[in-house]
Amino acid sequence: MRLPKTVAALIEVFEKLPGIGPRTAARLTYFLVNQPDSLAKQLAAAAASLKTGTKLCGVCKNIGATNPCEICNDSGRDRAKICVVEEPQGLLAIENSQAFKGLYHVLHGRIAPTAGLGPDDIYLKELVARIKSGKFKEVVLATNADTEGETTAMYISKLLAATGVKLTRIAQGIPTGGDIEYADELTLRRALEGRRKY
Amino acid sequence: MRLPKTVAALIEVFEKLPGIGPRTAARLTYFLVNQPDSLAKQLAAAAASLKTGTKLCGVCKNIGATNPCEICNDSGRDRAKICVVEEPQGLLAIENSQAFKGLYHVLHGRIAPTAGLGPDDIYLKELVARIKSGKFKEVVLATNADTEGETTAMYISKLLAATGVKLTRIAQGIPTGGDIEYADELTLRRALEGRRKY
C-alpha cells in the first residue's frame, strides 16, 4: 500500500528530527491525522513562525527574542560570574533551578573528536574573548557530565588558565532522590570526592 | 528568563504529541531553530496540508488517500480474508511484511477498561456488520500482544462466535533473532504452546 502523500510527507519531516525514527514519525503523524485539524494547523503555524521571533544573542550566543538577549540586558544580574553551557536547553534548566544569577555563554555544542567536532566548531574563541576582557571573576563550567562534556570543560580550563580567572565545575554526585545502592561506581566516586562538611 | 514566544509556542504544540515531554519538546524545537529555516518551513507545509490528502476509508476505516481506500478497491486482494488491527500503523506493518493479501479492518483503538475505553469507542460494530454480510471466511485477529490487545481479540471472538466465521490469532513467540535465554516466561510459554511440526 502506498501511503497518502501528505502522510508520507509529514513522516519524512519528523524523521529528520533528532531521536525520531520511522515508527515514532508514523505514530506522531497518525496521531495528528486522528486529532481535530486544529492541532496540525497549530503545528504548522508554530513551525512557520519559529525563526521570526528568535535571535542568536551576539554576546552570549543564547537563543532569545532580542539581541542582546534578555539575560545579557538584565542589569540585575551578577556580571562578574559567567556560566558556560553546551546548549540553550542547559541554560534554561539552570535558569529554572534559580540557583545562578550571573551571565551565560552558550557553546552550541561540545568538543567530540569521535564525532569530528573540534574547538572551532563551537563558540569557544568568543568565550575566550569575553573572559580576556577581564570583566569576569568566576567561570562556572556547566558542560554535561559525560565524556565529551568533561573533555570540553578540561579544554576550556586549559585555555583560560593563563587569565587567572577562577574556574569552577558544577558538582557531580547522587541525584536528589537517588538511591546509593543503584548509583554507578563513577558517580559514587565523584560523590565521595566532592563530599562537604556537614 | 522568558522564552522567545515563537519557541514557547512550538514547544507547547510538540508537548501535545504522544510520548513527547517538555524536555524532548524543547530539544526538537531548538534543533529546528539551529537548522536552516527550510526544515521548519517543510514541517509547517507538511503539517498544514496533512489532512487535505487523507480520508478515512468508509469500508475498512484505514487512513488512505481515497475513500474507499486503495486496498478495499484492489480487485487482486483475497476478499474472503480480513485482518483486524488496532491502528493504521499496524496495517502498514503487516503490508510491509507482504505476508497477508486479504482485506483489513482498522479498529482505531482497543478495549481498555482501565483507560475508560469500551467496545463503543472503536469501530467494532462496523466490523461485526462486515462479518455478518457473510462475505468473509477467515478473520485474522492482529491486535497487539499486550493485555488490552488480548482483551480486544477475546471480545471480538465472542462477538463473532455465532457467525461461524473462522477466527485466527497471529502467533506469539520468540521474535526472529531473539535469544531464548532472554525471552520472558510468558513469551516462552506462548512459543511452546504454539509449536509446530518441523
Strand-pair category, A55-56 with A63-64: antiparallel
How large is the average pLDDT for residues A165-171? Answer: 93
Mean pLDDT of B81-89: 94
Residue A70 pLDDT > 90: yes
Residue type at position B17 = L
> Residues of A with CB below 8 A from B44's CB?
43-45, 47-48
Inter-chain CB proximity B9 and A46 less than 8 Å: yes
Tell me the per-residue pLDDT of A108-162, one tens digit each, with 9 for 90 and over.
999 999 999 999 999 999 999 999 999 999 999 999 989 999 999 999 999 999 9
Is pLDDT of B1 > 80? no
Best of B10, B39, B85, B91 to disrupt the A interface (most A CBs within 10 Å) is B10
Task: Sort B8 into a burial class: Cβ within 10 Å, 0-12 / 13-18 / 19+.
Answer: middle
pLDDT tens profile A172-186: 888 888 887 888 888
- Stretch B114-121: mean pLDDT, rounded? 93
Q: Output the pLDDT for position A190.
A: 83
Cα B1–Cα B2–Cα B3 angle in degrees, nearest 5: 115
Beta bridge partners of A106: A85
ipTM of the complex: 0.79
Collect all residues of chain A within an 8 Å Cβ-Cβ radius of residue B92: 1, 3, 26
Res A21: pLDDT: 94
CB atoms within 10 A of CB B189: 13
Residue A183 or residue A63, greater confidence: A63
Picking from B155, B79, B157, B72, the residue whose alpha carbon sits closest to that of residue B112 is B155
pLDDT category of residue B67 using cuts at 50, 70 and 90: very high
Is the confidence at residue B94, as pLDDT, over 80? yes
Q: Chain A residues with CB inside 8 Å of B76's CB?
A: none
Res. B193: pLDDT tops 80: yes
Beta carbons of B1 and A63 less than 8 Å apart? no
pLDDT score recorded for residue A187: 86
Inter-chain residue contact A28 with B18, CB threshold 8 Å: yes
Q: Cell 506522531 maps to which residue?
A: A28
- Comparing alpha-carbon positions, the chain B residue that sits nearest to A109 is B34
A-interface mutation test, from B14, B43, B95, B144, most A Cβ less than 10 A away: B43
Q: Return d(Cα A160, Cα A167) in angstroms, integer.
A: 8
CB pairs under 8 A between A and B: 169
Which residue, among A51, A67, A83, A106, would best test binding to B if mutated, counting the most B CBs under 10 Å from its CB? Answer: A51
- Mean of the pLDDT values across residues B132-141? 95
Give the pLDDT score at A1.
Answer: 64
Across chain A, mean pLDDT equals: 92
Q: What was the pLDDT predicted at A130?
A: 97
Residue A10 to residue B41, Cβ atoms within 8 A: no
Edge-to-edge strand list for the sheet holding B138-141: B102-106, B78-85, B138-141, B166-169
Return the pLDDT at A64. Answer: 92
> Is B32 strand, coil or helix?
helix
Whether residue B28 and residue A5 make contact (CB cut-off 8 A), yes or no, is no
Q: Mean of the pLDDT values across residues A69-91?
A: 95
Distance CA A175, CA A179 (A): 8
Q: Which residue does chain A place closest to B11, by CA atoms?
A: A46
In this complex, do A30 and B87 lie within 8 Å of one another by their Cβ atoms?
Answer: yes
Task: Note whether B19 contacts A24, CB cutoff 8 Å.
Answer: yes
- Which residues on adjacent β-strands are paired with residue B85? B106
State the Cα–Cα distance between residues A72 and A57, nearest whole angstrom: 8
Tens digit of each residue's pLDDT (9 = 90 or more) over B6-42: 999 999 999 999 999 999 999 999 999 988 889 999 9
**What is the structure's pLDDT at B180?**
79
Per the model's pLDDT, the better-predicted residue between B52 and A123 turns out to be A123
Contact state of A10 with B47 under an 8 Å Cβ cutoff: yes
Q: How confident is the model over B144-178, as pLDDT tens digits?
A: 989 999 999 999 999 999 999 999 999 888 888 88
- Residues A87-106 have a mean pLDDT of 92
